[in-house]
Amino acid sequence: MNYQIGKPGRIVVVRFSDGEDVFDGLARICRTENIRAACFNIVGGMKGGRFVVGPQTEEMPPVPVWRELQESHEALGFGTIFWDQDQPKVHFHGAYGKGDSVKAGCLRENSEVFLVLEVVITEILEVDIIRELDPASGMVLLKMNR
């Protein structure tokens, strides 16, 4: 286990509207505001997205099992943002519900809002953490630099 202790910085409250891409918007905010490390919470609606519900087996590198949102769902979840080279990289796990059906997983593609989605971003100061390609898993994982 590795860890660093940081401090909360700026708090950014975001309202995404119908059809907007959440991941693109979060990355744009982080580039514009030079937010290098953050965590965030979401609540609202999503109507599009591809998410991973786990690996097919426990072998490395993992082969993801994909699911897709193709209509409106209630959504909530938690994520982090750390930079991978020159771009902010979002890692988000959420739950997506419609009627009596609830799905949960790691949203990775096509994060499309239904009606409205609220996001609260908390900047993390005084940490030296990036994302870097892990050869064993083939995934971009956290790397502590001190």
> Residue 105: its pLDDT value, please?
98
| pLDDT tens figures, 13-67 | 999 999 999 999 999 999 999 999 999 999 999 999 999 999 999 999 999 999 9
- Residue 5 forms part of a structural domain: no
- Residue 7 forms part of a structural domain: no
- Residue 60 forms part of a structural domain: yes
- CA-to-CA distance for 9 and 70, rounded, in angstroms? 36
> Residue 146: its pLDDT value, please?
82
As for how many domains the chain has, the answer is: 1
Which amino acid is present at 5?
I
Which residue is associated with the tokens 């940081």? 6
- Residue 57 forms part of a structural domain: yes
Which residue is associated with the tokens 């660093």? 4
* pTM for the full predicted model: 0.94
- The DSSP code for 137 is T
Q: What SS3 state is found at 89?
A: strand
| pLDDT tens figures, 84-131 | 999 999 999 999 999 999 999 999 999 999 999 999 999 999 999 999
Q: What is the CATH number of the domain that holds 133?
A: 3.30.1330.80
Owning domain of residue 58: 12-144
- Residue 4 forms part of a structural domain: no
